Amino acid sequence: MPRIYLSPPDISTRDHAAVDAVLTSNWVAPVGPDLEAFESAVAELAERQYAVALNSGTAALHLALQLLNVQPGDSVICPTLTFAASANPICYCGADPIFVDSEPRTWNMDPVLLELELGERAASGELPKAVIVVHLYGQCADMDPILAVCERYGIPVVEDAAEALGASYKGRPAGGMGAFSFFSFNGNKIITTSGGGMLLADKGSWIDRARFLATQAREPVAHYEHRELGYNYRLSNVLAGLGLSQLDDLSRRIAAKRAHFEAYRAALGELPGVRFMPIEDPDAANYWLTCMTIDPVEGGSSRDAVIAALEAEDVEARPLWKPLHMQPVFQDCASIGGECAEGLFATGLCLPSGSALSVADRSKVIEGVRACFVTQ
């Protein structure tokens, strides 16, 4: 029996054909027509004017912060319950992250805490240069109050939509709301280019400059002329061909992941102490990963016992993201609240949620979890 992974790549014969077609076209050099088509397709999905394909989501966030002129001595707000890549680029710019706790309703950044913090910082003249909002596990943060308070203080919002391609918030697509937004096409995300990302905005000059910086800041002259420091951050045309093919399959993937979430919740939701990630609007999430918490006091089991039992069956399950304010690398950073995220980290886990996960394998996961609960 092969191991059941959390969120493995889902590659079809159509993907093989798409990559083969790019190789045959010889657009390998590395730019080409598939890159432009992939940028347009993702921009259209996110209702954005402009997009630049990059070799990671992390690179996209780094460029967004550079374009917002984040510098040493500045601060940038970021949720604490997220992957480290949501905050690392703040430090690449020499700036200081300020971590903000989650709200229990969506597990995303708490708009009330954000407003309090911005109010205090406005009073002391220490407003952050930017606010990064993450749409965790494919569900959007409560963007209306977040965008409103950031606009009031004139602070640009960067949407980390790495996990949220295809999700929406009150009819607006994830990645279509902040000054900048980005997606990730890493191997574990809902669609993949093996590694990749995309930066989006509605201001063409920003995306032009991001493309310039991502291409070694090479001046448009025949000899190699450089006036500023650049990066090698662009996605290759071969991988864009794969991305286009994967993107065509997005709605099937969301439906498959939603079916996993609903099957897990139906089979496990009544177990003592078990709660599933609250979903505000069932039609708006992309269900990237099914997440649940187990209260060890109420429950007949615990998060760690369930992960260990599944591992014994060769099933990969993992705790939720470890909050960044608890990470050794960020131990000296400012942090606002944190109890909600700490509680989620202590009790939460993600279940196998691949878009190619079979019903038989999903049943095996369900049986593995149920077996951990004494009262049945």
Which residues would be at the binding site for ligand PLP (CB under 6 A)? 56-58, 82-83, 85-86, 134, 160, 162-163, 184, 186, 197
Between 190 and 357, whose beta carbon lies closer to ligand PLP?
A: 190
Q: Give the nearest distance from C-beta 55 to ligand PLP in angstroms.
A: 8
Between 134 and 268, whose beta carbon lies closer to ligand PLP?
A: 134
Q: Which residue is nearest to ligand PLP (CB)?
A: 57
The structure tokens 């609903």 sit at 262
Q: Give the nearest distance from C-beta 60 to ligand PLP in angstroms.
A: 8
Residues 308, 65: contact at Cβ < 8 Å? no
N-terminal to C-terminal alpha carbon distance within the chain: 27
Letter string b/e over residues 298-335, b meaning 16 or more CB atoms within 10 A of that residue's CB: ebbbbbeebbebbeeeebbbbbbbbbbbeeeebeebeb
Residues 157, 131: contact at Cβ < 8 Å? yes
Between 62 and 211, whose beta carbon lies closer to ligand PLP?
A: 62
CA 77 to mean position of chain CA atoms: 16
Q: Give the nearest distance from C-beta 195 to ligand PLP in angstroms.
A: 6
Between 196 and 241, whose beta carbon lies closer to ligand PLP?
A: 196
Task: Using alpha carbons, select from 247, 248, 245, 238 the residue that is nearest to residue 35.
Answer: 238
Per the annotation, the verdict on 257 as an active-site residue is no
**E strand or H helix that includes residue 207:** helix 204-214
Residue of 189, 203, 257, 364 marked active site:
189
Q: Give the nearest distance from C-beta 102 to ligand PLP in angstroms.
A: 13
**Catalytic residue positions, numbered:** 189
